[in-house]
Amino acid sequence: MLELRPICECCGKALPPSAPDAMICSFECTFCRECVSERLGGRCPNCGGGLVARPIRPASKLAANPASNHGVYNPKGCGREGRPLGDTTQAIGIV
C-alpha cells in the first residue's frame, strides 16, 4: 500500500491524499508537481528514477487505510534552502 506521504520533500507543500499535484517515484519519494517540473526535471533527486502522478485514494477507503502522517522533508536534496515548517506538519528530515 502506498504511504501517501503528506508533504512535498522539496518545498514542504502539503500534499493530502486528495492532492491532484502529488508525484511519486518507485520508492515513494514524494514531490509536488511544481517542484518536479521546475526543479527536478521529472527525475527523483534521491534515486534518479522517474516520477509519476500519485493515484488518489478514494475518501471511502481512507478511514481503514489512512495516509501516512510521516513526511520526508529534505530541501537540500533538491537544491533548496530549508525553511521552517509549521507545527502542524509532522515532517521528519533525512540526513
Residues binding Zn ion (CB under 5 A): 8, 10-11, 13, 25, 27, 29, 32, 35, 44, 46-47
CB 10, min distance to Zn ion, A: 4
DSSP letter at 65 equals S
Q: How far apart are CA 48 and CA 83, in angstroms?
A: 24
Q: Choose between 48 and 64: whose C-beta lies nearer to Zn ion.
A: 48
CB 90, min distance to Zn ion, A: 17
Q: How far apart are CA 2 and CA 79, in angstroms?
A: 26
Q: Give the rounded distance of the alpha carbon of 43 from its chain centre.
A: 13
Q: Choose between 16 and 58: whose C-beta lies nearer to Zn ion.
A: 16
